[in-house]
Amino acid sequence: MILDDEINATIVRPLPKGVKLHAIIDACHSGTILDLPYLCRKRREGNYIWENNNPPSGARKGTDGGLAISFSACGDNQTCTDTDALSRDKVMTGAMTYFFIQAMQSDQPEMTYGYLLRAIHNAIHKASTTVGLSGPIAALVGRVFHTGFSQEPQLSSSEIFDIDTVPFIL
């Protein structure tokens, strides 16, 4: 098992100024996998706010000046879905990965972190709750999702920023 503290010490803390790390993690219990100091959490009202995710011990979780940003498939206490229902070739694909790619291929004129997070969240929610679908989404719902399905994509960062105005650029 690789601990988030080890990942943080190995690839996050050493990031120098001017370097940006994007991590896209489609794995169970991956919410804070990079152990970043800020977590963007969806509120009941539907908007997102940054929460301080620093440990009570005061251990340093930031970078050496760079920026680390992570999209995770689900929260630390959640599992995520892998399925072949989204593939013509029956290749296993994570639901978050599939919907991330769909969002990236959309005609959205300026892709922001907020747009991506909402698009992924909404697509996963729709796939897990919609009845009467056809095609690959129906297969996904029928074969994989069950009552009580819960997968909340997460965005975390080494710095707080406005997710609705900062463009997503790799």
Q: pLDDT (tens digit, 9 = 90+) per residue, 9-59? A: 999 999 999 999 999 999 888 888 999 999 998 888 888 999 999 888 888
| pLDDT at residue number 2 | 83
Contact 21, 11 (CB under 8 A): yes
Q: Let me know: does 156 contact 32? Beta carbons within 8 Å.
A: yes
Nearest to 122 by CA among 101, 98, 152: 152
Burial class of residue 137, CB neighbours in 10 A (0-12, 13-18, 19+): middle
- Mean pLDDT (the chain) is 84
Could you tell me the residue ranges of all domains in the chain?
Answer: 4-157
The predicted structure's pLDDT at residue 148: 39
Residues in the chain, pLDDT under 50: 131-135, 138-139, 146-149
- Whether this prediction's pTM lies above 0.75 is answered by yes
